[in-house]
Amino acid sequence: EVQLVESGGGSVQAGGSLRLSCAASGFAFGSDAIGWFRQAPGKEREGVACITTDDGATYYKRSVKGRFTISSDNAKNMVYLQMNGLKPEDTAVYYCAADRRCGVFYAGDYYPTDFGSWGQGTQVTVSS
């Protein structure tokens, strides 16, 4: 059974930083894609970043590129999302998810595939 557990959310002021962690188990970590998604109240869920754990390829939504960094530690089955320069519009519940591939990067933006396994989410609140 695939399990994904997020941690590291919290409340920060605009311009601050947070690092989210995703602990993964129940599948062959190192041969899949792990993505971070977010959903703000009243908005659709959107893909923020993704990493393919075999080759470390990364994908970023246009609005977070240059501020967020996704990384993985395959030895620990962990994926991280370092978020710097946080803005109030980054406020959302952040989820990590796993699937075979990330999706596509097209016209300067990241379009995720339909991920099959999800964590429970962690709240990130950025105040102005």
Per-residue pLDDT of 93-104, as tens digits, reads 999 999 999 999
Determine the average pLDDT of the residues in 114-125: 96
Whole-angstrom distance, CA of residue 59 vs CA of residue 45 = 16
pLDDT exceeds 90 at position 113: yes
pLDDT digits (tens, 9 = 90+) for 53-84: 889 999 999 999 999 999 999 999 999 999 99
pLDDT at 27: 75
DSSP code at position 45: -
pLDDT at 31: 73
From the list 2, 4, 6, 11, the residue with the least C-alpha distance to 122 is: 6
DSSP H helix total and E strand total for the chain: 0, 13
